[in-house]
Amino acid sequence: MRAALILGLSLAAGPALACGPGTVVGPQGGQLAYRVDPAPAVGRMVAVEVTACDGLALDGFDARMPQHGHGLNYRPRISAEGPGRYRVEGILFHMPGAWQFVFDVRADGNARRLTTDFAVTR
Amino acid sequence: MRAAAIALFGLLAAFPAQAADQFVFDQAERDAILLHGPWPPAAAPDPSNRASGDPAAVALGQKLFFDIRLSRDNDRSCATCHIPAQAFADGRPRGEGIRPLDRNTIALANLQGRRWYGWDGKSDSLWAQSLHPIVDERELAATGALLRDRLAPEHDAVFGPADDDETFLVDIAKALAAYQETLVTPRRPFDDFRDALERGDAAAMAAYPAAAARGLKLFVGRGQCAVCHFGPAFSNGEFDSVGINFFLGPDGVDRGRHGGITALRASPFNLLGRHSDDDTRSTAGPTRHVALLHRNWGEFAVPSLRGVALSAPYMHDGSLATLADVVGHYSQIDLDRLHQDGQLILQPLRLTDGELADLVAFLETL
């Protein structure tokens, strides 16, 4: 089963473009939607499908455990799947607990780092 | 804030009053405990090894495991160091092959389906890990050509003729792996307790030693042991630096996981190479994506804790003689010996003598 999540970004307001079925566009316009496939679990290698809205480009991705002071033991790779769509492969959560996704995005030449927190519980 | 402690399904009335507390777990503790089972896990053949699960290959592997013809000098076998009566370890701090080795001999059990093998994880399959001691000059010091001369009839009866010496060697390792996959530790008192907890069977839970239950509570709670010793095998299958010395004498260093990843990438026997029998490379994702990091220096495998009471001494260098020593190490861990970019949750637990004894009592039920 896929876990679908939406990340609202604190970017400057711009033209709000719907970026895919099921995507919720927030009041500030800039958004990025992602879903983890398959659902996160310790020791399971997963991919993250990203839809970048409003002309955003995904330049980098990482995951980390801020409370533990470390990130992944694996290096994810980003591949472009189409306009605004990306697939990040090679993600393996090696511990249960509080994780954070880090998306490095670019819009109109400006680079920004966006994060979202979630828990791996099983 | 965590939910308040919950009584287990209203069944605590069945316990004597003095025995109740150690069997009360809050929801987070209960969830964490249940993740350590059920046991045993379902067997799943290794797609990279066409011998996995093949009875003929298992029989050949079992025979060869005890066969001195796998050594150059016809004087030692896998079982010389992996002694069945000693949990397939050897009871020594560090292994003794033809020459002394740098690390503790790992007990062999519950090996199927792991991502990495060995203290440094230099192998991404059980068959590759089984191959290394055969050719290591410090261990059995054999070669594929030597084994082919000695073992061709037995090999060919299971695998058919091999194209070359290297493939022959890999086939022998795959038979050894097929046998080792059958080494599974039996159900233990913890498993009965865990299953009783899951179904709310207070009477069955009460059969678990009280000290072990208190130790379990520490293990999944304040001790945070279950963060790394996670899941039914009590290991997350990864690596960490936990303040154990990794220098080898005055001039040497055991690079641990850093050396393991380096060796993995250079190995013709990894899951991306020609010897994998899985055309789709379906289990090779970790090999493809593993990162080589500075903090890998001095990291060693998080070992499974199943059967741990039988496999002393402990840690990658066998430097801790007893389970009490291991628990004591974590209780008083020296943060100055940890990487600055290492695991922040490793903190001295400063356990009381009673808590130390409880944790050991728990480990002895695995």
pLDDT for the residue A55: 81
| Residue A98 belongs to domain spanning | 3-120
Contact check, Cβ <8 Å, A69/B293: no
Contact check, Cβ <8 Å, B290/A74: yes
Q: How many CB pairs under 8 A join A and B?
A: 63
Tens digit of each residue's pLDDT (9 = 90 or more) over B186-196? 999 999 999 99
8 Å CB contact between B130 and B139? no
pLDDT for the residue A1: 41
User: Which residues in chain B are closer than 8 Å to A48, comparing Cβ atoms?
Assistant: none
Is the pLDDT higher at B96 or at A20? B96
User: Which residues in chain A are closer than 8 Å to B290, comparing Cβ atoms?
Assistant: 73-75
A68, A76, A121 ranked by CB distance to B289: nearest: A76
Touching check for A67 and chain B: CB below 8 Å?
yes
B228, B288, B290 ranked by CB distance to A95: nearest: B228
Sorted by where each begins, the domain ranges of chain B are: 1-34+185-256+297-366, 55-180
User: Which residues in chain A are closer than 8 Å to B231, comparing Cβ atoms?
Assistant: 42-43
Q: What CATH class has B1-34+185-256+297-366?
A: mainly alpha
Touching check for A27 and chain B: CB below 8 Å?
no
Task: Give the helix, strand, coil percentages of chain B, each rounded to 5.
Answer: 40, 5, 55
The number of distinct structural domains making up chain A is 1
Q: What is the CATH number of the domain that holds A15?
A: 2.60.40
Cα separation of the two ends of chain A: 14
pLDDT for the residue B8: 40
pLDDT for the residue A28: 53
Longest dimension (CA), chain B: 70
Q: Is the pLDDT of residue A3 over 80?
A: no
pLDDT for the residue B20: 58
Of the candidates B125, B140, B162, B138, which has an alpha carbon nearest to the alpha carbon of residue B267?
A: B125
Q: How far apart are CA B141 and CA B179, in angstroms?
A: 21
Poorest-pLDDT segment among A52-56, A68-72, B188-192? A52-56
* Domains B1-34+185-256+297-366 and B55-180 alike in fold: yes
Touching check for A96 and chain B: CB below 8 Å?
yes
B115, B227, B285 ranked by CB distance to A96: nearest: B227
Q: How far is CA A55 from CA A31, A32, B190, in A?
A: 10, 10, 54
Residue of A nearest to B340 (CA): A69
Residues of chain B contacting A, Cβ within 8 Å: 31, 35, 115, 226-228, 230-231, 236-239, 285-286, 288-291, 293, 295, 341-345
Tens digit of each residue's pLDDT (9 = 90 or more) over B162-201? 999 999 999 999 999 999 999 999 999 999 999 999 999 9
**CA–CA min distance B75, chain A (Å):** 40
Touching check for A90 and chain B: CB below 8 Å?
yes
User: Which residues in chain A are closer than 8 Å to B227, comparing Cβ atoms?
Assistant: 95-97
User: Which residues in chain A are closer than 8 Å to B343, comparing Cβ atoms?
Assistant: 68-70
Q: What CATH class has B55-180?
A: mainly alpha
**CA–CA min distance A73, chain B (Å):** 6
Pairing of strands A57-65, A97-107: antiparallel
Q: How far apart are CA B229 and CA B187, in angstroms?
A: 18
Contact check, Cβ <8 Å, B344/A45: no
Q: Is the pLDDT of residue A64 over 70?
A: yes
The token pair at A65 is: 């455990």
Residue of B nearest to A122 (CA): B35
Packed helices B353-363 and B210-220: angle between N→C axes, nearest 10 degrees: 100
Q: Could you list the mean pLDDT of each consecutive 10-residue stretch along chain B, which spans 366 residues?
A: 38 45 87 97 96 98 98 97 97 95 96 97 98 97 98 98 98 98 98 97 95 97 95 97 86 93 98 98 97 94 97 97 97 80 80 97 98
Tens digit of each residue's pLDDT (9 = 90 or more) over B92-119? 999 999 999 999 999 999 999 999 999 9
8 Å CB contact between B259 and B120? yes
pLDDT for the residue B12: 41
Contact check, Cβ <8 Å, A95/B227: yes
Q: How far apart are CA B167 and CA B172, in angstroms?
A: 9
Contact check, Cβ <8 Å, B289/A45: yes
Contact check, Cβ <8 Å, A69/B227: no
Longest dimension (CA), chain A: 40
**CA–CA min distance A77, chain B (Å):** 8
User: Which residues in chain B are closer than 8 Å to A95, comparing Cβ atoms?
Assistant: 227-228, 230, 236, 238
pLDDT for the residue A106: 86
Is the pLDDT higher at A85 or at A32? A85
Q: Is the pLDDT of residue A11 over 60?
A: no
Q: How far apart are CA A90 and CA A78, in angstroms?
A: 9
